[in-house]
Amino acid sequence: MKLFTATHFKFALLVAIVTMFVTATASAQNAKIQTSQLDALAAKATETVDVNIDESLMQMTAKFLSNKDPDEAKVKELVNGLKGIYVRSFEFETEGQYSAADLESIRSQLRNSSWDRIVNINSKKEGAVEVYLMHSAGVISGLAVLATDPKEVTIVNIVGPVDLEKLSALEGNFGVPVLGIEYPKTKRKNDE
Amino acid sequence: MKKLIAIGLVFIALAGGVPPVHAKGDDFNDVVKLIEHFYHVKHQGVPLLARAGIKTATTVARISGGRGRQLAEAGSVKVAYFEDQDFKSNADYLRFKSAITAALAGKWSPLIQVASPKEQEQTYIYLRDAGEKFNVMVVTLESREACVVQVNLSPSTLAKLMQNPDEMGNAITIDATQD
């Protein structure tokens, strides 16, 4: 009877560990934004860019970047633990080539309660920039940037633990465009 | 005379073991064939003979794993050129993107895809894990020329290039084909 109980306990422990692992993995996966609905915009765009750096590539990159080179070490520290970087960008020759409805598929994912909008800038001259963070168990597990102007749409999606204070160092690397965003340390959408 | 030199150099290059473009079950070959069928063009296996002389000799040396290589592993380079041919005749780049995606699906991971229909330029970079190294395929199409390059890269070289994927295609293509 004692053995039976111990076996059950071990089994329950194993199930709990597996569940925790699966939950953590699922949370990280959820931070990946589905962008395939934007494919239709490509037909009207004068330039399209898709960058897909998945977890295995991300970790390989982190592993082989040098600790001795200060620049590489900085990037290495930043990308360590990241599960992916995905960028999609569309440039148009004229205004009015896309509408709010075209971006609804992205916005509807970001309206999910696990995403918080931490930056929302609207400028007629500069366009609009929205930055969203996903938190899982108190830790940032993903970031999404939606930058639009009348002739351009850019979506940057970083999956994994992101250090906001060092994030600007990632701009210009790994296909992430230079967005010039000053990321706040921690700011929830209710704080705006 | 130049033509003779070129032919001679090409013969030497071929005899020296330039990787064959037509290998069975070869994704590189499949992509080359795809471009040929889609755009009704024909590739040249060795970078352009007509340039002849030292340029060709150096390029051939590079292709067969010779001196001066900086990125690709020795002997790992495959190149197919399409020069002075019409890539405007079928300007539907979205269909081409779908076709190349389908051809390499499940075998290669798309790293970066850039298309500028206005400039009639397309660049595709695909990666494949090959054990201790990575296979990288770069496909570049412009209005009058195209190039398919496949190289083996060490993880450390790839890691460095990954920092700037926008320039990666250019760097690999130039390394594989130019002095």
CA distances to A17, B2, B48, B93 from B8, in Å = 67, 10, 13, 37
Among candidates B112, B119, B127 on the partner chain, residue whose Cβ is nearest the Cβ of A50: B112
Query: Does the distance separating the beta carbons of A50 and B127 come in below 8 Å?
Result: no
Per-residue pLDDT reduced to its tens digit, B101-131: 999 998 999 999 999 988 889 999 999 988 8
Residue A93, chain B, CB below 8 Å: the answer is yes
User: Which residues on B lie below 8 Å from A52 (Cβ)?
Assistant: 109-112
Task: Report pLDDT for A89.
Answer: 95
Task: Report pLDDT for A51.
Answer: 92
A26 CA to chain B: closest CA distance, Å? 22
- Per-residue confidence band for A126, with pLDDT thresholds at 50, 70 and 90: confident
Query: Does the distance separating the beta carbons of B110 and A174 come in below 8 Å?
Result: no
Other CB atoms closer than 10 Å to residue A43's CB: what's the count? 12
Q: In a mutagenesis test of the B interface, which of A38, A39, A41, A52 is the best target, namely the one with the most B β-carbons within 10 Å?
A: A52
A154 CA to chain B: closest CA distance, Å? 13
Backbone angles phi, psi at B127, to 5 degrees: -125, 150
Other CB atoms closer than 10 Å to residue B57's CB: what's the count? 16
Q: What share of chain B is helix, strand, coil (3-state, %, to 5)?
A: 40, 25, 35
Whether the CB-CB separation of B126 and B137 falls below 8 Å is answered with yes
| B170/B173 Cα distance (integer angstroms) | 5
In sequence order, what are the residues at sequence separation of 6 or more whose Cβ sits closer than 8 angstroms to the Cβ of residue B53? B2, B5
Which of B123, B127, B133 shows the shortest CA–CA distance to B157?
Answer: B133
Q: Could you say which residues from 29 to 48 on chain A have a Cβ atom under 8 Å away from some Cβ of chain B?
A: 42-43, 45-48
Residue B94, chain A, CB below 8 Å: the answer is yes
User: Which residues on A lie below 8 Å from B115 (Cβ)?
Assistant: 42, 45, 47-48
Q: Could you say which residues from 129 to 158 on chain B have a Cβ atom under 8 Å away from some Cβ of chain A?
A: 129, 155-156, 158
Residue carrying the six token digits 């889609």 = B38
Query: Does the distance separating the beta carbons of A174 and B118 come in below 8 Å?
Result: no
Per-residue b or e along B139-166, where b marks 16 or more CB atoms closer than 10 Å to that residue's CB: bbbbeeebbbbbbbbebebbbbbbbebb
Per-residue pLDDT reduced to its tens digit, A163-183: 877 777 777 777 777 766 666
Which of B123, B115, B121, B125 shows the shortest CA–CA distance to B161?
Answer: B125
Residue A73, chain B, CB below 8 Å: the answer is no
User: Which residues on A lie below 8 Å from B163 (Cβ)?
Assistant: 61, 65, 72, 75, 173-174
User: Which residues on A lie below 8 Å from B113 (Cβ)?
Assistant: 48-50
Which of B170, B157, B142 shows the shortest CA–CA distance to B76?
Answer: B157
Task: Report pLDDT for B179.
Answer: 53
| A170/A31 Cα distance (integer angstroms) | 18
Pick the range with the lowest mean pLDDT from A123-132, A145-154, B84-93, B143-152. Answer: B84-93
| B83/A175 Cα distance (integer angstroms) | 29
Q: What is the mean pLDDT of each run of 10 residues along chain B (179 residues)?
A: 36 36 70 94 66 37 43 72 84 87 92 88 91 90 92 84 75 71
User: Which residues on B lie below 8 Å from A72 (Cβ)?
Assistant: 160, 163
Residue B105, chain A, CB below 8 Å: the answer is no
B130 CA to chain A: closest CA distance, Å? 13
Burial zone of B58 (CB within 10 Å; 0-12 exposed, 13-18 middle, 19+ buried): middle
Residue A57, chain B, CB below 8 Å: the answer is yes
Q: Which two tokens stand for residue B163?
A: 């920092």
Q: What does DSSP say about strands B146-153 and B133-141: parallel, antiparallel, or unpaired? A: antiparallel
| A117/B120 Cα distance (integer angstroms) | 38
Residue carrying the six token digits 């290669």 = B108
Q: What is the ipTM of this complex?
A: 0.72
| B144/B140 Cα distance (integer angstroms) | 11
Query: Does the distance separating the beta carbons of B164 and A173 come in below 8 Å?
Result: yes
Task: Report pLDDT for B55.
Answer: 38
Whether the CB-CB separation of B172 and B71 falls below 8 Å is answered with yes
Whether this model's pTM surpasses 0.80: no
A174 CA to chain B: closest CA distance, Å? 5
Residue A65, chain B, CB below 8 Å: the answer is yes
Q: What is the mean pLDDT of chain A?
A: 80
Mean pLDDT over A149-156 rounds to 94
